[in-house]
Amino acid sequence: MFDIHPATPADAGELLTLQRAAFVDEAQAYGDPFILPLTEGLDRIDRLLRDEDVLVLKAVSGARIVGAVRASAAGAHGVIGRLAVAPDQRRRGIARALLSAVEEELRSRRPGLTALTLFTGAQSADQQRLYRERGYGETHRERVADHLVMVHMRKELAPVGAPAEPV
């Protein structure tokens, strides 16, 4: 089992370790050891954890951080990023739970949000499937290098308090 909590600056080192472990297989799939999640430094993670406009959630099992996600918002638009799960903890619902929790918390902080966006690698079929299951649709693809194409996805949000869609 795991619990989800807001991350704090004291978590920066463990979050960096988790992020690097979680994204190694993606770097290998693209043949690029310099993808941003692997080159981002401790100072940047620490700054993000201290930024009141950035939401970072962690999934904790015992004393270990086994997953994390971050998000921010500008106006009516939220951006979700760096969804990471420790490789030995995958397929246990951690990513799905973190995504749900960050969406819920972001919406509670910003009730006027109308859309959430995120991106993932074109070769990351499991991540794309998860995001589609959660209501995200592909908006476009962006070639950021000869070997790397990012899939941008968006989820439209009903206003907070609006009646639910009929089933």
- pLDDT tens for 64-119 read 999 999 999 998 999 999 999 999 999 999 999 999 999 999 999 999 999 999 99
- pLDDT tens for 2-24 read 999 999 999 999 999 999 999 99
Residues 6+ apart with CB under 8 A from 113: 73, 76, 77, 78, 106, 107, 157
- pLDDT tens for 150-167 read 999 999 998 766 665 565
- pLDDT tens for 107-137 read 999 999 999 999 998 988 899 999 999 999 9
CA dihedral 32, 141, 102, 95 (to 10 degrees): -50
Check residue 167 and give its pLDDT.
Answer: 56
User: Whole-angstrom Cα distance, residue 119 to residue 126?
Assistant: 13
User: Whole-angstrom Cα distance, residue 105 to residue 124?
Assistant: 26
Check residue 158 and give its pLDDT.
Answer: 85
User: Whole-angstrom Cα distance, residue 60 to residue 148?
Assistant: 31
- pLDDT tens for 27-53 read 888 888 888 889 999 999 999 999 999
Phi, psi of 123, rounded to the nearest 5 degrees: -90, 0
Q: How many other CB atoms are there within 10 angstroms of residue 161's CB atom?
A: 6
Task: Say which DSSP state 101 is in.
Answer: H
How would DSSP label each residue in 117-147? EEEEETT-HHHHHHHHHTT-EEEEEEEEETT
Q: Tell whether pTM > 0.85.
A: yes
